[in-house]
Amino acid sequence: MPSPSAVVCAYSSVGTAALEGLLEAGVAVKALYTYAQGADERWFTPPAAVAEAHGIPVRLAPSFNTDEVFEAIRAHQPDFLFSFYFREMIQARFLELPRLGAYNLHGSLLPKYRGRAPLNWVLVKGETETGVTLHAMTPKPDDGHIVAQARLPIDWDETALSLTLKAADAGRGLVREAAPGLADGSLPRIDQKTLGPSTYFGGRKPADSRLDFAMTAGEAFNQIRAVADPWPNAFLETAEGSVKVAWALPTELPCPAGCFRSSREGVLLGFADGALRIHTLKVDGARLERPSEQAMALRLLGVPQS
């Protein structure tokens, strides 16, 4: 029996890993639709590099949902259409092209955390578990029957990067193991409505990473780790400008809310119910890791010293 064929739409480190899983399962990928890698995204191998290494045509379409792309995919007559962390909602007409269906890999335990940036949002919300879900695509975002899921524990100091790497590894295995069952129709299909209520979070905006001294120390820490390097980082706004808090950890040492304090352990930043010990600040692009530099920067920005 010939290998099933697929057209893949993918981006990000999770998209790269899922494409690798598909190839490991023996699926013949006819074409990859993806995006050019940004200058701030050099920390991961893009799906295009994997495709090129396997002789798979790479398409960098400026807009996916065009008649030209539709006709190109129809000409491939694929058995599957896969979306692995693709940035665009794929129109309904595309979902009807593959003989064996269209499937999306989402970075949460659906039906929870539908929408954009689920791995960042679960950290902001202080979740202790998440996962990846492979589901049938419909015209609605992250809708459709679930065909496979993998659960991922979230460590107390998990960052967006470490959780993304976990999700990529889980996604590779999930796709690889699910592919044969998708091809022969043996995978069970679970209606998301039977798993409880859904939740939805939109794409993250810069303002979503703002720190507020009215937050608890736990809320501030969750905000920081959700956008730690290589993401743009959480930030504080002051009357004299802004400062990025690239990394900080909870501490039991006291510091009044809205103030900073120098201690033997380093510089502390006070929130509503406790403090964080600063590891790295960024001011005007400069990384400040020495406590003396951090204290001076906060003083110049008008943050009161206790």
**pLDDT tens-digit series, residues 252-294:** 999 999 999 999 999 999 999 999 999 999 999 899 999 999 9
Q: Name the pLDDT band for 239 (thresholds 50, 70, 90).
A: confident
Q: Are residues 113 and 251 in the same domain?
A: no
Residue 285 lies in a domain: yes
Q: What are phi and psi of 61, to 5 degrees?
A: -70, 130
Q: Give yes or no: residues 185 and 85 share one domain.
A: yes
Which of 153, 180, 201 marks a domain boundary? 201
Residues 29 and 174 occupy one common structural domain? yes
Task: Report the length, in residues, of the chain.
Answer: 306
Indicate whether 29 belongs to any domain. yes
- Cα distances (angstroms) measured from residue 79 to each of 32, 96, 114, 213: 14, 11, 26, 53
Q: Side chain identity at 63, as an amino acid letter?
A: S
Q: What is the mean pLDDT of residues 181-186?
A: 96
Residue 174: band (very low, low, confident or very high) from pLDDT cuts 50, 70, 90: very high
Mean pLDDT throughout 89-97? 97
What percent of the chain has pLDDT above 90?
96
CATH number at 97 reads 3.40.50.170
| Confidence band, pLDDT 50/70/90 cuts, at residue 2 | confident
Predicted local distance difference test score (pLDDT) of residue 61 = 75
104 and 214 assigned to the same domain: no
Quote the mean pLDDT of the chain.
Answer: 96
pLDDT in the model for residue 200: 96
The whole domain housing 244 covers 206-300
* 68 found inside a domain: yes
| Per-residue model confidence (pLDDT) at position 1 | 61
Judgement on whether residues 49 and 96 belong to the same structural domain of the protein: yes
Q: Do 36 and 154 have their domain in common?
A: yes
For residue 250, is it left (φ>0), alpha (ψ between -120 and 50) or beta? beta
Task: Write down which residue in 151, 167, 201 finishes a domain.
Answer: 201
d(CA 253, CA 263): 9
Determine what percent of the chain is predicted with pLDDT higher than 70: 100
